[in-house]
Structure 1
Amino acid sequence: MTPGRGLLQWRSSSWSPSATGRRSSAPPEPASPRRSPTPLLVVALAIALAAVAVAVAGVSSVLRPADASDATAASAAREVSELDRTLRKALVAADAETVGWVLAPTFELVDPSGERQTRREYLRAVSSRSLDYEAFDPTTPVEVRVSGEVAVVTYESQLQVAAGSTRLRHRAWHTHVYERADGRWRQVWSQATAVGGFPPGS
C-alpha cells in the first residue's frame, strides 16, 4: 500500500451516506495531498535494484568461465586421446623415439604381471624388442577424463606380445595418467590389468 492512497481510501469510506440518505453535517476534511516516496524508501529501492543487478552479473560471470572450461576440457581430451593412439602405434612399430617423446621423465609402468618398470627400462625393452608388441588394439571406447592439468585414459585392449621365446595373447584393462607441463601432455603412469588372470590360462 503506497503512503497517501491508503489514507485517502480510509477517509473516503468515513463519509459514506447515512441510513436516511443524508450526509453528516460536519464539513469534510480536505484530502491530504499525495506524498512522494520518502528519501529512505528511494534509497531502499535503489539498493534492492543494485543487488539484483549484481546478482545477475554474478550469474553471467560464473556461467561464461564454466562454458569455457568445458570446451577446454573437451579439447584436451581429444588431444590426449590422439596422443595415446600415437603411443600404441609407436609401441607396435618399436619406435622408441616416439615412445620416449610421449613418456614423461618420471614415467613408471606396472605390467600385467605386476612388475614395475622405469621409463629407462621400458624404452630399452621396446627398442631392443625384448618386449615386442605385435598387436595393441582397443576393444572398448577409449575414455578420457580431464581435470585441470591431469588426464586419465581407460580402455580394454587385445594384446599380442612377444617376450623372448614367449608369445602371449590376452585382453587387459589399461589406466594411463597424463600430466600437462611446459605446454604439452605426457604420460606419467601406466598400469595394465590382465582380464582373467596372468599369464593367460593360468
Structure 2
Amino acid sequence: MRNDEPLAITVTSAIHTGDITALRRLLADNAGLATARITDDRGCGRTLLHVLTDWPAGFPDGARTAAALIEAGADVNARFEGPPGLNTHRETPLHWAASCNDVAVLDALLDAGADIDADGAVIGGGPALWDARVFAQWDAAHRLVERGATVTLNDAAALGLSDQVERLLPGGDVHDAFWNACHGGQRECAELLIDRGANLNALPDWEQLTPLDAALRNGFEDLAGWLRSRGGKSAAELGPAQMNRSGMTDDVASQVIKAEQERIRCLLDVDRDTYDRLHAPEYRLCNPTGAVWTKTDYLDLLTTGRVAYRELELIGDVDAIVGTDLVVLRYRCFIELTVHGADIPRHEAWHTDVYTNDGGTWRCVWSQATGIMDLPPAAP
C-alpha cells in the first residue's frame, strides 16, 4: 500500500491522533490491514506499528493504539524494509519506540511479546537498547534494562551501572566505555574508567567527538567541567594531531584516510547518518561520465537504488597531500555498480577526494572518479 493512497492516509491519521474507534473500524473493514505495509516513494516499507513508533512518536493514547493493532494481528517483531536491493537497517517497532523514548508504547510492545534483544539497530546492528543509548533516550534505556535487556559494557557505562561496568570491563574496551559514560553524563563510571586506564581525549571509531564533546552535546555541563579540570579537550582543540582511541597520535593523513575508508563503507551500506557526517554541505561528485552530483543528488540516487554499489574496494596505498585544513587523497579502486538499472561491470578507477577540516571533523567536499581504460597505442 502506497503512502499516498486514501486508506494509508486515513489509517496513519487515526494512529497519530489516537482515534482508537476509527482505527478499530478501519481494521475491521479492511482485511489484512493490521499486517499491511505502507511504502513510500523510495520503496521503504513500514508496518502500522512502525507508523506508531516513527519519529517523533509519543502520539496520543499510544499504548492503547498498539494494543488495538496487536489484537487485530499486527506482528510486534516485524522488520522495517528498506529500498529493494539495498543493505539497510532492519529495525523492529521496539527499536523505534526506544529511539523516540516512547516508554508507554515500548512497554505495550514488550507486554505483547516483542523480542527485547532483537538485532537490527540502525547504529551497529544491535538491539533496541543500543538505539536508546546512542540517541540519548535515557528513560527508554533504563526501562529496557528493567525489563531484562542484555547490557553491554557501553550500555552500563552510559547508564551509570557501576557494578555492571566492573563485571563487564575485563576484556572490554575501556576507552569506548569511558566515552559512553561521558555521553550519558555518568561521572562515577567515568572516574572508575579513568582509574582503569581510559584515555581522557580518545576519539571513538564512530564519530570525531571527544568525551568532552559528548558530554557538552548532551548538556552535562558539570561533567564537562570535571573533564576540563582533568585536561579534557574538544576535538577542535586537539587540532590536526588528533588522539586516537588508544591515546597515541595519528597524523592528519592517517585520520583522513580512515575517514575515506569509512565513507566508502557508508556508500556500500547506504548508511545515511555516516554519509551526512562525512560529506560537507557543498559536496560535489564528478563521475566518470562528467556528470556532477551534489550531496543531496548523490544520497537520493543511493537511497532510491538508482545507484547501487556492489563493490568499492581500495587497491594498494592511498597518496595524500596535506595542508593546514585541507587534504587531497588519490587512490585506485575496483568498482562494480548499477546505475539507473544498467549493470556496470567490475573495473578499475582512479579516485581523487578533497577533505576540509570543519571544526575538528574531516569532511569530503569534492570527489573525482576517472575510469582506467585500455587505449590503443599511439600512432608513430
**Fold match, TM over 0.5?**
yes
Cα offsets for 1:65-95 (capped at 9, x unmatched): xxxx996796111110100000101111111
| 2:253 maps to which of 74, 77, 81 | 77
1:91 paired with 2:229, answer: no
Residue identity opposite 2:362 in structure 1? W
- How far apart are the structure 2 equivalents of 1:139 and 1:191? 16
What secondary structure sits across from 1:114 in the alignment?
coil
Is 2:336 aligned against 1:164? Answer: no
- State the Cα distance separating 1:170 from its structure 2 match: 1.6
| Residues in 2 aligned to 1:115 and 1:188: alpha-carbon distance in whole angstroms | 16
Higher strand share: 1
Partner of 1:33: none
The equivalences for 1:19-58 within 5 A come to none
Distance 1:129 1:97, change over 3 A: farther
Contact 2:263 2:275 (C-alpha < 8 Å) held by counterparts: yes
Partner of 1:136: 312
Q: What amino acid maps onto 2:310 in structure 1?
A: E
- 1:144 Cα deviation from its structure 2 partner: 2.0
* Equivalence for 2:358: 181
Would the aligned equivalents of 2:240 and 2:252 in 1 still touch at CA under 8 Å? Answer: no
1:151 equivalent in structure 2: 327
Measure the CA separation in 2 of the matches of 1:175 and 1:115. Answer: 15
Q: CA deviation at 1:131?
A: 0.5
Structure 2 residue identity aligned to 1:116 = V
Q: Which residue of 2 aligns with 1:41?
A: none
Instruction: Using the TM superposition, name which of 136-145 and 77-86 deviates more.
Output: 136-145
Question: What letter is aligned with 1:142?
Answer: V
2:25 corresponding residue in structure 1: none
Gaps of 5+ in 2: 1-238, 243-248, 375-380
Given that residues 112 and 192 in structure 1 are in contact (C-alpha distance below 8 angstroms), is that contact kept between their aligned partners in structure 2?
A: yes
The TM-score, its normalising length taken from structure 1, stands at 0.60
Distance in 1 separating the partners of 2:282 and 2:240: 29
User: Identity over the aligned pairs, expressed in percent?
Assistant: 28
**Structure 2 partner of 1:123:** 299
Structure 2 contact 306–341 (Cα < 8 Å) conserved:
no
Paired residues, number: 129
Gaps of 5+ in 1: 1-68, 198-202
Separation in 2 of the partners of 1:129 and 1:86?
20
Amino acid at match of 2:353: H
CA distance in 2: counterparts of 1:102 and 1:190, whole angstroms: 12
Which one has the largest radius of gyration? Answer: 1
Q: How far apart, CA to CA, are the structure 2 residues paired with 1:105 and 1:113?
A: 23
Distance 1:92 1:70, change over 3 A: closer
User: Equivalents in 2 of 1:175, 1:166: separation in Å?
Assistant: 24
Map of 2:283 onto structure 1: 107
Give the Cα separation in 2 of the matches to 1:165 and 1:149. 39
- Mapped to 2, the partners of 1:191 and 1:104 lie a distance apart of 15
